[in-house]
Amino acid sequence: MSIKYFLAGLVVSVSLVSCLSNDPNKDVTKASPEAEKSLKDTANFTSIQWIDSVKDFGKIQEGANIELTYRFKNTGSKPLVVADVHPGCGCTLVEKPTKPVMPGQEGEIKGSFDTKGRVGHSEKTITVNVNTIKQNYQLSFSVDVEAAKKG
Give the pLDDT confidence of 2-53 residue by residue, as tens digits. Answer: 444 333 343 333 333 344 443 433 444 566 667 676 777 788 899 999 999 9
7's enclosing H/E stretch is helix 3-19
User: What is the edge-to-edge ordering of all strands in the sheet holding 92-95?
Assistant: 48-50, 65-74, 106-114, 92-95
Mean local confidence (pLDDT), 124-135: 95
Selection from 23-37, 85-99, 103-117 with the highest mean pLDDT = 103-117
Question: What pLDDT score does 133 carry?
Answer: 93
Contact assessment for residue 72 and residue 47, using Cβ atoms and an 8 Å cutoff = no
Domain spans in the chain, listed from the N-terminal domain onward: 3-146
CATH number for region 3-146:
2.60.40.10
Strands 54-61 and 136-146: parallel
Mean local confidence (pLDDT), 104-110: 97
Q: What is the pTM of this model?
A: 0.76
Among candidates 64, 68, 72, 96, which has minimal Cα distance to 82? 96
